[in-house]
Structure 1
Amino acid sequence: MALMLAAGCRQDMQDQPKMIPQRGTEFFADGRSARPQVVGTVSRDQLHQDEYFYTGLVDGKEQDALPFPATLQVLERGQERFNVYCTPCHSRVGNGLGMIVERGYKPAGNYHDAKRLAQPLSHYFFVMTNGYGAMPDYSAQLTPADRWAVAADIRALQLSQNATQADVPAGTQIENLNDVAEREGHPEWAGPWELPSTAVFATPETGIAAGAPAKPANAPNAAIQNPSNTGSS
């Protein structure tokens, strides 16, 4: 009977000799239960052994290669991220005339000019990681893998604007852009790019006077101070 009663009184590990974070202890000389990290500790997913994948540099130099295969999935992801974060300034075709630029902001980089066509692929990854000129970095918005995917999409845009039929793999059907646009019911796709109808440009009218400056006569009572009461006693 005593053994049966003793079995029913077990604690099921409710009492454990463990350290609780942020509580003191007499076990260690410094009285802290939370222990400092040992030398060389690396947080999970922060080892970054692949230097090129995380920096876009090899021995401090940019390279013209992706750190992984440029699959269709990578290109689709890069296009989706590019359309979200890059098109406002660079436009969907990468000519540097996005909607923000069309409305007066400083022109963005044109991926199709001679300077940027000559840049290695990792240059774009490096710029997204660290920023360049007026462009801030996008390391908080884009993971390293996404930055590489966007770089791949930029290279695809560059190739598309200068592609010829000789670049098309043998056996692939080639269609005229006008025919594709007509078939899809959007012939304007093949036309020149223009500003959207929602864009409104106007020249400010002259002769518009500003409002009357604030004076004690029209200022709130609480905003009026008696100069004689502002001095030191």
Structure 2
Amino acid sequence: MTLVAGCDQMARQPRADAQEASRFFPDGKVNQAPPVGTVARGELARDAVLAERPPLTAALLARGEERYRINCVPCHGLAGDGLGTVVQRGFPRPPDFAEPRLVQAPDRHFLEVIEHGYGVMYSYAARVKPADRWAIVAHIRSLQLARTADVKALPEEDRGALEARP
């Protein structure tokens, strides 16, 4: 027969709450900065996804359109013209994605705006996964192209389909 005994010394050990003073650390603070070189769990994988643009595929564009409709349309509008429903209700209008400065902006600009926010737009880092950020950027580029493309440069079949629409 085996007898296992436990102790509850951990329940009675000294501890400190956040923001309290501490005699344990030399600076007297409980909250300590992480050691230099510390990387948060999952941060390297996130950075790897954001480091390089994925190949432009139909699946990426479809995912981008889906994520754009969920996260961006309320402010930026379906066409990316900055005329979303919140703007119609009095919120500041975001820029039109067809503005020359945004057409010429690098993809990294849009990634940083999604992650950190810009002006009155808050960060979407917690709402949009890194891979989905690339998909949204691809969709923004397709919106820009759709609004600035020369219809005469399209193949006859595509031009006819566009002209047949109301």
TM-score in terms of structure 2 length: 0.70
Q: What does residue 42 of structure 2 align with? A: 45
- 1:113 aligned residue (99, 103, 118): 99
Q: What does residue 72 of structure 1 align with? A: 58
Give the counterpart letter for 2:98 in structure 1. Answer: H
Q: What does residue 86 of structure 1 align with? A: 72
Q: What does residue 176 of structure 1 align with? A: 161
- 1:157 aligned residue (131, 143, 160): 143
Larger Rg: 1
Q: Structure 1: state its 5+ residue gaps.
A: 1-8, 16-21, 25-29, 31-38, 57-65, 182-189, 191-233
Relative contact order: is structure 1 or structure 2 higher (C-alpha 8 Å, sep ≥ 6)?
Answer: 2
CA drift of 1:110 comes to: 0.6
Q: What does residue 21 of structure 2 align with? A: none
Give the counterpart letter for 1:176 in structure 2. Answer: A
* Structure showing the higher helix proportion among its residues: 2
Structure 1 Cα separation of the partners of residues 142 and 163 of structure 2: 21
Q: Structure 2: state its 5+ residue gaps.
A: 14-34
Structure 1 residue 133 and structure 2 residue 130: aligned?
Answer: no
Q: What does residue 224 of structure 1 align with? A: none
Structure 2 Cα separation of the partners of residues 139 and 49 of structure 1: 11
The answer to whether the Cα contact below 8 Å between 2:65 and 2:136 also exists between their aligned partners in 1 is yes
CA drift of 1:50 comes to: 4.7
Structure 1 Cα separation of the partners of residues 79 and 46 of structure 2: 34
Structure 2 Cα separation of the partners of residues 42 and 76 of structure 1: 33
TM-score in terms of structure 1 length: 0.51
SS of residue in 2 equivalent to 1:173: helix
Alignment of 1:190-229 (within 5 A): 190=166
- 1:144 aligned residue (107, 125, 130): 130
Q: Percent identity?
A: 34
Give the counterpart letter for 1:157 in structure 2. Answer: L
Structure 2 Cα separation of the partners of residues 23 and 165 of structure 1: 77
SS of residue in 2 equivalent to 1:47: helix
CA drift of 1:87 comes to: 0.6
Q: Across the two proteins, how many residue pairs are aligned to each other? A: 145
